[in-house]
């Protein structure tokens, strides 16, 4: 079985927590670090959440506090209405953490680990991309040293999945469009798992109930943490379940065959009414040459997904043992 050395860059977050538990249950992964970033809530809160999750899951990997604000704009307000006031579905957390964060900033941890394991580290990013952009800013050469970058973010309009914050912008990208554009135009291999596929994968109430009833301690946690998130989806969309979102960036690393991809440079709109929009120029597109697109590397955008297989892979990870 192949082993994937990974750094999990996150702003936990209910779906972040569910993705992290899936990652740490899979024998294919060697988790090198968890790095936190502003997004679902402020960076202090999400770092506390990451420390608690790492302690509760018994993880040896360090947790490093990351960027508190986007590269070039103020921090957003977060999404307590989506993930709960504490970001973890309003589960009760201890007053004090059993472990401390790594003294290095997240970008430094990313650089250090990529340098220590050239060609071996995959970055899994499920929040705003500020930490990855800062790592590139401080050491651009790491782009040539990573094995891959798997990102949950963006929306390209496939099957009507065009945006969840504005008509065109997805939350992780809109939280720091300048960072996203820097990351997506860098010369490292990126796969973008956007709303085009994450909103095709719905964990419905019966699925979540089954995890809770048959998945042991982990299943109990997954069901408990998802209840607030499910309530949000029911109130706003009439959806009796939740979108899998962040877990797809993890699944992409070990089961890429479950996704259909489209290749081509990807840019992010920075400013204006389309702020945060992700746009791809597909390879072979009949467009005139343009300096806005042609100098940049082709990246992979997931445009379809084997929903049943993804749901089975996630559930079997907790129910098979």
Residues with catalytic roles: 11, 245
- Beta bridge mates, 151: 125, 192
* DSSP letters for 170-222: -HHHHT-HHHHHHHHTSSS-EEEE-HHHHTT-EEEHHHHHHHHHHSHHHHHHH
Closest CA to 223 of 319, 136, 102, 114: 319
CA distance 72 to 125: 20
CA distance 279 to 84: 31
CA distance 269 to 178: 8
- Exposure string for 124-158, b = 16+ CB within 10 A, e = fewer: bbbbbbbbbbbbbeebeebbebbbbbbbbbbbbbb
CA distance 129 to 180: 6
CA distance 18 to 3: 21
* 148-152/121-125 β-pairing: parallel
CA distance 94 to 116: 34
What are 77's two structure tokens?
A: 């307000």
- Is there a cis peptide before residue 13, judged by omega within 30 degrees of 0? yes
What are 222's two structure tokens?
A: 């997954």
Closest CA to 114 of 147, 70, 157: 147
Residue 220 CB coordination number (10 Å):
13
What are 253's two structure tokens?
A: 């690393």
């Amino acid at each position: 079985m192949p082993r994937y050395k990974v750094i999990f860059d996150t702003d936990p977050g209910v779906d972040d927590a569910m993705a992290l538990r899936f990652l740490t249950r899979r024998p294919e992964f060697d988790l090198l670090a968890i790095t936190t970033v502003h997004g679902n809530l402020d960076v202090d809160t999400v770092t506390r959440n990451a420390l608690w999750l790492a302690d509760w899951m018994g993880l040896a990997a360090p947790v490093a506090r990351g960027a508190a604000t986007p590269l070039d704009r103020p921090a957003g307000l977060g999404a307590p209405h989506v993930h709960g006031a504490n970001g973890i579905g309003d589960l009760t957390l201890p007053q004090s953490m059993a472990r401390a964060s790594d003294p290095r900033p997240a970008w430094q941890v990313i650089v250090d680990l990529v340098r220590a394991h050239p060609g071996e580290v995959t970055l899994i990013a499920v929040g705003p991309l500020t930490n990855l952009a800062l790592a590139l800013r401080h050491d651009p050469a790491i782009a040539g040293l990573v094995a891959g970058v798997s990102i949950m973010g963006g929306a390209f309009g496939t099957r009507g999945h065009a945006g969840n914050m504005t008509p065109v912008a997805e939350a992780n990208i809109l939280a720091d469009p300048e960072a996203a554009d820097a990351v997506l135009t860098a010369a490292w291999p990126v796969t973008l798992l956007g709303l085009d596929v994450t909103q095709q994968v719905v964990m419905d109430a019966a699925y979540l109930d089954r995890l809770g009833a048959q998945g042991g301690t982990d299943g109990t946690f997954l069901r408990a943490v998802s209840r607030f998130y499910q309530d949000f989806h029911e109130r706003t969309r009439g959806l009796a379940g939740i979108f899998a979102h962040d877990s797809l960036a993890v699944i992409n690393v070990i089961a890429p065959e479950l996704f259909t991809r489209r290749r081509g440079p990807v840019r992010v709109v920075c400013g204006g009414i389309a702020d945060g929009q992700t746009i791809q120029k597909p390879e072979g597109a009949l467009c005139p040459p343009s300096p806005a697109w042609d100098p940049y590397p082709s990246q992979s955008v997931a445009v379809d997904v084997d929903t049943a297989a993804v749901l089975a892979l996630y559930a079997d990870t907790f129910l098979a043992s």
